[in-house]
């Protein structure tokens, strides 16, 4: 890829400013109050793809937020890369913990990012990483170096479970026909330790509601005599883990893939410093399933976490009340071979079965997706690995991620092609957290690395 370094240098400021404009739009898909902004973001993506050189760009309506599709077909005999990303973002709360407004991006230097990082919700997940592909496309078309066909599919519902993308994919096999799918929505180990994500966890997200008495009660007159739904909820949730932090839902581990000693030994070679990890989070100890290391717990093992809980009086001061209802949002991260719909059913059945007679329990499945593992012997992975070698001067490490991109498993099922996860974010980017940011170095390094993937994938496809 000739002159890529100089091209990026020349256009660096514009690349950063274009991303900043995109980050100013609060495209929060989980909160209907922001519907207009989500749609506005889709329009912005559409025009950016057009400018980047796509021949046809369209906004494809769905039952929810639209999918932006763009393509440039230069020769039907050449391979086709399908780029997937999302333009929606997580809600910013707790808003009070942000040092700057989540939708007023600022650039600040940090210890890890001496070149500066862009602070804003979505900076890394996924506007920043998605936009690297748009700018890589611009480079390849502007410099006449695009070696193959490209298709873009950028959705607006990833943070709420890609509700409508699956239907779109099922109904558009021809339109989406490709030889490899390329996604940047994951991270790498460190700026000097490039890695490619080869595994993703599945997800099952539910909401539970416990109802005690039919109205809030005075805790003095009724306390001790009726089931307090908050106390009941805490008891039920606590019972979902045993003393070894194994999940107690019957059948939960039945299909869990157990890695071999060798695989675990190889995983253990990835650079990891427990002391730094604890310091970064300001915790005195890690916590998790007995018999597994921290890196195993957050990648190859399934989990059950409460993501939110509420009930009773949470305002200022005191209220001596027994609430009528208590609620929790609970998600389970799943590993390959655990079917998310089956696990969701197991949870529902079990949670309802442990409810005491004195309370009513309602379990509402929210969304979910399957886990995924990419083999590293296909040309997609090889092309990515060669790209990193050119731009980082190192062979990237294959790494299982604890995160979930529910749609990836569906892509393989429907489109019969492998997905390559080239992530340029860092754990410290605080995605889904206050003060999310994305290093400018990472952003530009991604723009530099992506075109080499196209180059090597096209070359390896010929042979």
Residue 295 vs 449, nearer CB to a copy of itself = 295
Give how many residues touch a copy of itself by CB under 8 A: 103
CA distance readout (Å), 223 to 66, 72, 226, 316: 51, 68, 7, 22
Residue 338 vs 458, nearer CB to a copy of itself = 338
**Distance in Å, CB of 49 to a copy of itself, minimum:** 27
Kindly tell me the burial class for residue 220, based on how many C-beta atoms sit within 10 Å of its own C-beta (0-12, 13-18, 19 or more): exposed
Residue 51 vs 367, nearer CB to a copy of itself = 367
Nearest alpha-carbon partner for 427 in 311, 299, 331, 325: 299
Nearest alpha-carbon partner for 342 in 240, 248, 253: 253
Which residues in 68-87 contact a copy of itself (CB under 8 A)? none
Stretch that binds a copy of itself, among 9-17, 56-64, 222-230, 253-261 (CB under 8 A): 222-230
User: Exactly one of 102, 105, 128, 161 binds a copy of itself (CB under 8 A); which one?
Assistant: 161
What does residue 329 show for φ and ψ, rounded to 5 degrees? Answer: -105, 125
Verify binding: residue 223, a copy of itself, rule CB under 8 A: yes
User: Exactly one of 12, 58, 209, 216 binds a copy of itself (CB under 8 A); which one?
Assistant: 216
Verify binding: residue 316, a copy of itself, rule CB under 8 A: yes
**Distance in Å, CB of 454 to a copy of itself, minimum:** 28
Which residues in 271-290 contact a copy of itself (CB under 8 A)? 281-289
Query: What is the CA 53 to chain-centroid distance, rounded?
Result: 27
**Distance in Å, CB of 182 to a copy of itself, minimum:** 20
For Cα atoms 259, 340, 186, give the angle at the middle one, nearest 5 degrees. Answer: 65
Which residues in 423-452 contact a copy of itself (CB under 8 A)? 427, 430-435
Residue 200 vs 379, nearer CB to a copy of itself = 200
**Distance in Å, CB of 153 to a copy of itself, minimum:** 22
CA distance readout (Å), 326 to 80, 113, 210, 345, 365: 50, 43, 5, 21, 17
User: Exactly one of 193, 256, 309, 460 binds a copy of itself (CB under 8 A); which one?
Assistant: 309
Which residues in 365-384 contact a copy of itself (CB under 8 A)? 366-367
CA distance readout (Å), 419 to 124, 185, 198, 363: 20, 12, 9, 33
**Cβ proximity of 226 and 323 under 8 Å:** no
Which residues in 2-41 contact a copy of itself (CB under 8 A)? 29-32
Question: x-or-dash pattern for a copy of itself, window 118-147, by CB under 8 A?
Answer: ------------------------------
Kindly tell me the burial class for residue 169, based on how many C-beta atoms sit within 10 Å of its own C-beta (0-12, 13-18, 19 or more): buried
**Distance in Å, CB of 362 to a copy of itself, minimum:** 15
Write the DSSP string, 377-409: SSHHHHHHHHHHHHHHSSPPEEEE-S---THHH
Stretch that binds a copy of itself, among 4-12, 112-120, 354-362, 378-386 (CB under 8 A): 354-362
Computed on alpha carbons and rounded to an integer, the radius of gyration of the chain in Å comes to 23
- d(C-alpha 119, C-alpha 91), whole Å: 15
Verify binding: residue 98, a copy of itself, rule CB under 8 A: no
- d(C-alpha 411, C-alpha 86), whole Å: 15
Residue 215 vs 261, nearer CB to a copy of itself = 215
């Amino acid at each position: 890829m000739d002159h890529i370094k100089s091209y990026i240098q020349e256009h660096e400021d514009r690349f950063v400013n274009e991303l900043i404009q995109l980050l100013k739009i609060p495209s929060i898909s989980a909160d209907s109050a922001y519907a207009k902004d989500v749609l506005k973001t889709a329009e912005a993506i559409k025009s950016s793809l057009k400018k980047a050189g796509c021949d046809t760009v369209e906004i494809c309506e769905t039952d929810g937020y639209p999918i932006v599709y763009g393509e440039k077909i230069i020769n039907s005999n050449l391979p086709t890369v399908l780029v997937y990303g999302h333009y929606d973002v997580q809600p910013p709360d707790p808003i009070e913990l942000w040092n700057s407004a989540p939708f007023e991006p600022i650039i600040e230097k940090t210890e890890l990012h001496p070149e500066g990082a862009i602070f804003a919700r979505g900076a890394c997940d996924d506007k920043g990483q998605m936009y690297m592909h748009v700018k890589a496309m611009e480079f390849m078309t502007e410099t006449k170096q695009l070696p193959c066909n490209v298709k873009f599919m950028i959705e607006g519902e990833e943070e709420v479970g890609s509700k409508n993308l699956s239907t779109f994919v099922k109904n558009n096999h021809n339109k989406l026909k490709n030889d490899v799918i390329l996604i940047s929505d994951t991270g790498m180990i460190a700026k000097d330790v490039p890695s490619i994500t080869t595994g993703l966890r599945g997800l099952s997200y539910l909401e539970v509601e416990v109802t005690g008495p039919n109205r809030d009660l005075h805790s003095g007159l009724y306390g001790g005599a009726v089931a307090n739904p908050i106390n009941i909820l805490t008891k039920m949730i606590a019972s979902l883990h045993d003393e070894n932090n194994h999940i107690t839902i019957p059948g939960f581990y039945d299909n869990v893939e157990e890695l071999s000693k060798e695989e675990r030994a190889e995983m253990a070679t990835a650079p990891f410093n427990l002391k730094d990890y604890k310091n970064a989070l300001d915790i005195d100890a890690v916590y998790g399933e007995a018999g597994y290391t921290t890196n195993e717990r957050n990648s190859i093992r399934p989990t059950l976490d409460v993501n939110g809980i509420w009930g009773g009086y949470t305002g200022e001061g005191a209220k001596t009340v027994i609430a009528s209802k208590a609620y929790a949002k609970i998600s389970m991260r799943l590993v390959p071979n655990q079917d998310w719909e089956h696990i969701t059913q197991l949870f529902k059945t079990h949670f309802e079965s442990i409810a005491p007679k004195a309370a009513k329990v309602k379990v509402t499945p929210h969304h979910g997706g399957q886990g995924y593992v990419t083999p590293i012997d296909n040309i997609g992975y090889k092309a990515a690995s060669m790209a990193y070698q050119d731009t980082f001067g190192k062979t990237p490490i294959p790494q299982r991620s604890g995160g979930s991109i529910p749609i990836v498993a569906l892509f393989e099922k429907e489109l019969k092609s492998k997905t390559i996860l080239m992530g340029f974010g860092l754990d410290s980017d605080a995605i889904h957290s206050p003060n999310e940011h994305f290093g400018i170095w990472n952003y530009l390094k991604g723009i530099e690395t992506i075109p080499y993937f196209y180059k090597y994938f096209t070359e390896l496809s010929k042979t």
